[in-house]
């Protein structure tokens, strides 16, 4: 028996298709352990230490022994060499009839997470993950100073199926000069829920997930990781702060200290339980104009790329997921890391 489930934060539906059910552990069997094959240093990699001259000029770095530019870096941020958008462009609006365009203004940066070519977040020390989060936040705060920036997204593509072209562990941050349609839709859902209930839909959801316990993977003092009720893909995992805050950029040092072990643990559970699956990780924050409103709540989504979306998803917007999130949550709870 299949079941349709609605995501209460987007109002999108998924089909949990248990006719096609696969046990959580079946997803692990196809994957090898890539980390064993991947060396710590690769001569031709532009992101490995010593090759800094091969990349565009550094925008930010965290260095051993402080701010001296000659000290070795640990985390390094550079402009994307082939940026989708550029800070030097003009975000001018152009409209001819129904054809609306905006100039290619924006920012597109790369966060090199480690000096090690095989330095996965899943295998790091918590303090190293904290450094990566610090770099994310510093760049987010810097990019959002420009009033032409309307929305910023931080994301990581891990593995070929997740769309990465460079093996060395890195994340990306993109600032855009428009409000994306899908983001507007999420904001509208959150706003309507707030109007109807006087509460943030994400706070309410977290409360209900914690009460039901079925889909919780782990909880810490400040953060909760769970498989959402309407998981779009097998092992979709959300990490959400208990404390209401609209944007990742509001993360304090003590928050970083709380969330880093949760991110590291979830990625380590996926790494061990599914043998280094390809995945996308996304930091969802309110657009700049909604940062001071009471209804949005920042969160992290991790989406393993174990299945493909096909014509049905493209035609209906409905995902078909062949696993029960209650089962993948149990599977991940039991992976010891």
Comparing CB distances to a copy of itself, the nearer of 307 and 337 is 307
Comparing CB distances to a copy of itself, the nearer of 35 and 199 is 199
- DSSP, collapsed to helix, strand or coil, labels residue 335 as coil
CB neighbours of residue 219 within 10 Å: 16
- Beta-carbon contacts of 132 under 8 Å, excluding residues fewer than 6 positions away, are 75, 111, 113, 121, 171
Rounded least distance, CB 19 to a copy of itself, Å: 5
Comparing CB distances to a copy of itself, the nearer of 49 and 104 is 104
Comparing CB distances to a copy of itself, the nearer of 11 and 64 is 11
Rounded least distance, CB 155 to a copy of itself, Å: 3
Rounded least distance, CB 17 to a copy of itself, Å: 5
Comparing CB distances to a copy of itself, the nearer of 263 and 335 is 263
Pull the structure tokens for residue 57: 């000029």
Comparing CB distances to a copy of itself, the nearer of 50 and 163 is 163
Contact 49, 72 (CB under 8 A): yes
Rounded least distance, CB 272 to a copy of itself, Å: 22
Rounded least distance, CB 70 to a copy of itself, Å: 32
Pull the structure tokens for residue 289: 């104009």
Rounded least distance, CB 124 to a copy of itself, Å: 19
Q: What b/e string do you get for 122-143 counting C-beta neighbours within 10 Å, with b at 16 or more?
A: bbbeeebbbbbbbbbbbbbebb
Rounded least distance, CB 297 to a copy of itself, Å: 13
> For 94, how many CA atoms within 13 A lie in the half-sphere containing its CB?
8
Rounded least distance, CB 187 to a copy of itself, Å: 12
Spatial separation of the C-alpha atoms in residues 236 and 227, rounded to whole Å? 6
Q: How far is CA 115 from CA 43, 163, 285, in A?
A: 13, 21, 28
Spatial separation of the C-alpha atoms in residues 250 and 255, rounded to whole Å? 9
Comparing CB distances to a copy of itself, the nearer of 32 and 311 is 311
Comparing CB distances to a copy of itself, the nearer of 36 and 308 is 308
Q: How far is CA 255 from CA 127, 242, 266, 316, in A?
A: 13, 11, 17, 38
Pull the structure tokens for residue 69: 């530019």
Task: Write out the H or E segment, with its range, that includes residue 136.
Answer: helix 126-143
């Amino acid at each position: 028996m299949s079941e349709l489930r609605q995501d209460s934060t987007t109002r999108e539906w998924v089909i949990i298709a248990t006719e096609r059910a696969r046990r959580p552990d079946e997803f692990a069997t196809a994957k090898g352990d890539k980390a064993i094959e991947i060396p710590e240093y690769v001569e031709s990699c532009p992101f490995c230490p010593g090759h800094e001259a091969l990349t565009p000029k550094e925008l930010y770095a965290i260095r051993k022994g402080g701010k001296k530019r000659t000290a070795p870096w640990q985390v390094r941020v550079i402009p994307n060499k082939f940026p989708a958008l550029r800070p030097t462009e003009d975000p001018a609006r152009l409209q001819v009839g129904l054809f609306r365009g905006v100039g290619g203004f924006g920012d597109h940066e790369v966060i090199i997470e480690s000096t090690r070519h095989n330095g996965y977040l899943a295998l790091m020390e918590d303090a190293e993950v904290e450094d990566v989060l610090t770099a994310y936040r510093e760049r987010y705060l810097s990019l959002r100073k420009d009033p032409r920036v309307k929305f910023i997204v931080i994301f990581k593509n891990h593995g070929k199926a997740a769309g990465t072209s460079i093996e060395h562990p890195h994340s990306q941050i993109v600032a855009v000069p428009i409000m994306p349609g899908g983001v507007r839709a999420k904001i509208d859902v959150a706003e309507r829920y707030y109007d109807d209930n006087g509460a943030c839909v994400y706070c309410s959801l977290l409360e209900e997930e914690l009460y039901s316990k079925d889909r919780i993977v782990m909880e810490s003092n400040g953060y909760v990781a769970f498989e959402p009720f309407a998981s779009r893909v097998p092992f979709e995992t959300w990490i959400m702060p208990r404390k209401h805050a609209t944007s990742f950029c509001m993360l304090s040092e003590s928050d970083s200290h709380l969330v880093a072990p949760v991110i590291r643990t979830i990625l380590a559970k996926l790494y061990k339980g599914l043998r280094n699956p390809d995945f996308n990780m996304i930091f969802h924050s309110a657009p700049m104009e909604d940062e001071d409103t009471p209804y949005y709540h920042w969160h992290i989504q991790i989406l393993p790329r174990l299945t493909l979306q096909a014509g049905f998803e493209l035609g209906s917007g409905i995902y078909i997921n062949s696993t029960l999130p209650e089962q993948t949550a149990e599977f991940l709870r039991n992976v010891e890391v």
